[in-house]
Structure 1
Amino acid sequence: MGVVLKDARRSVTSWCRRHTIGGDGAVAARRGQRSGPAEALSRDQELELIDALRGRYPDQFGLDDPLWTRQSVTALIERQFGLTIDPGIVGEYLHAWGLGPREPTDRACGLCVDAVRIWVRQEYPAIVRSAQEHRAELCWLGRTRLHGVAPAADVISAMSQRGRVKFMITTPTVDPPLPRDFLLRLSGADGRLVHVVVDGSWGRGEWPRRLPPRIAPYALPSCGRS
C-alpha cells in the first residue's frame, strides 16, 4: 500500500508540474498559428533565433539587458538577420512561445486552483504592500515548455506588474532547478530589490539557496511543492 500511495503522489506532482509549465497543451511557435501582424521571420529563421537564445544572455551578444526582453530580441534579430522588425511583431513571437500574461489560477493545475484563489485573496496583498514599501519590483516567475523545437527547451520568464517580460530559454535538461543566475540577473547590475512569486514549476527543494537579501521569493500554492 505504501508503494502505491507514493507512486500516486508522484503522479499527481508530475501532472501538476506539466500543467504549470505548459505540458502537452503548450502552443509551439509555428507559422500560421498567430493572429495579428504578418510574420517577419521564416520558420527556419525563427528556429535559428530560438537556437541563438538557448542558454545565452543578451550581454553575450554585446546587448545591455541582463535578461531577454522584447527590445533585446528585436535588436538581436536585426544583428542576426539584418531585419528591422517592429517590437510589436516580436511580441507576437514571444506570446506564441508562451510568454503572454497569465492569471494566477492559470499557473495552477486543477487540484491547486482553489488554494491559489485563497492565497491571492489572503496572502498576496501583503506581498504587494511589502514591495511598495521597499520600492521593490514585483514579478511572477514560471516556465513554459517550448514545443516544436529540437532539442526541447523550457522558457523561464518573469512578468512584472506592469506587464514587462524578462526571460531565458534553457539548454536541454530534464526538469532543471530554478536558476540562481536568472534571479540574480532579474535584480540587475544595480542590485535593485525584487519580490518574486514563484509558481509550481519548481519545488522548494529546487530553489537556489542563500539568495542575497535583495531577492525575496514567495511560493504560489501548488501540490507539486516539495
Structure 2
Amino acid sequence: MAVALRDGRRSVTSWCRRHTIGGDGAVAAVRRGQRSGEAVILSRDQELDLIETIRGCYPDQLGLDDDLWTRQSVAVLAQRRYGMRLEDGDVSAYLRAWGLGPREPTDRACGLCVDAVVDWLERQYPAIVRSAQEHRAELCWIGRTRLHGVVPAADVLSAVSVRGRVRFIVATPNVDPALPRDFLLRLSGPDCRAVQIVVDGSWTRAEWPRKLPPHIVLHPLPSCGR
C-alpha cells in the first residue's frame, strides 16, 4: 500500500508539472484553419519555415537588434524572408497561437495548485512588485510551452513583462531541460538592467542556474514540483 501511495504521489506531481504552464501552443495555420474568404498572411509552409529559422537561434545571430525574439523582430524576419509586411495584430495572433502571451497567474497552475497560487498572489506577490519598483527593475513572468504542428515538436521559452511585452526563444530538440542561464542574461540585456522574474512550474528549483548576477532575481510560483 505504501508503494502504491508513493507511486500515486509521483504520478500526480508529474501530471501537475506538465500542466503548470497553462496549455500548449500550435502552428497557427493548423489551429485556425482557413474559412471561406479569410485572408492568409503566411502560408503553412512559410510559417513552418519561420519557426525553423527561429529555432535554436537568437535574433542578433541573424543580424537583428533584439537579444530575444519579439513581435517586432519576427515581423522584420518575415519581411526579409518572404517580402511580406505583417501588421502588429497579425504577429500577435501568431504568437498567441504558438502559446505565447499574457496569462492569468492561476492559468499557470494545475488544479491542485490554484489555491496556493491565489494565496501567494495575496501574501507574497505585492512584496515582489514593491521590490521591483524600489530597484527600478523590470518584472516579468517566464514559462515553457510545447509547440505542436512542427517536426520535431519544439519547446518555446517565453518571458512576459507586467506591461505585456513578450520575448521568447524556440529551443532545439533534446535541449537541456534546465532553465537556460543565457535566456535570463538576455532578458537583462547588454546594459545589465535589473530584472525580477517569476518562474512558473516549468522548472524546479534544482533546474535553475546556480549562480546569477545580483541584478537578476528569481521568484518561484507555487507548484507541486517544488
The TM-score bracket by the shorter chain reads: over 0.9
| Change in 2 beyond 3 A, CA 1:32/1:52 | closer
* Structure 2: runs of 5+ lacking an equivalent: none
The answer for the alignment partner of 1:15 in structure 2 is 15
Equivalent-residue separation in structure 1 for 2:12 and 2:148 (angstroms): 22
Partners of 1:148 and 1:7 in 2: how far apart?
Answer: 32
Partner of 2:86: 85
Q: Verify the 8 A CA contact 1:12 1:224 in the aligned structure 2.
A: no
SS in 1 for 2:142: strand
1:109-128 to 2 correspondences below 5 Å: 109-128=110-129
* Residues 181-211 of structure 1: CA deviation (Å, up to 9, x unaligned): 1000000011000000000010100001111
Equivalent position of 1:50 in the other structure: 51
Q: TM-score, normalised by structure 1?
A: 0.93
Q: Deviations over 1:153-184 (max 9, x none)?
A: 11110000110000001111277111111000
Q: Deviations over 1:34-84 (max 9, x none)?
A: 49x843100011011111111110000011100000000001111121211
Matched to 1:77, the amino acid is: A
**1:126-141, aligned counterparts within 5 Å?**
126-141=127-142
User: 1:220 aligned to 2:194?
Assistant: no
Identity %: 70
The equivalent of 2:163 in structure 1 is 162
Mean CA deviation greater in 112-121 or 145-154: 145-154
Asked if the contact 1:26–1:145 (Cα under 8 Å) also holds between the matched residues in 2, the reply is yes
Distance in 2, Cα, partners of 1:75 & 1:183: 23
Q: Offset at 1:2?
A: 4.7
Question: Any conservation in 1 of the 2:26–2:97 contact (CA below 8 Å)?
Answer: yes
Conservation of the 8 A alpha-carbon contact between 2:28 and 2:94: no
Q: Distance in 2 between matches of 1:170 and 1:32?
A: 20
Distance 2:76 2:162 in 1: 24
Aligned to 1:29: 27
Label 1:81 to 1:202 Cα distance change in 2 as closer, same or farther (>3 A). Answer: same
What amino acid sits opposite 1:75 in the alignment?
V
Deviation, structure 1 residue 88? 1.7
How many residues are matched? 222
Distance 1:38 1:126, change over 3 A: farther
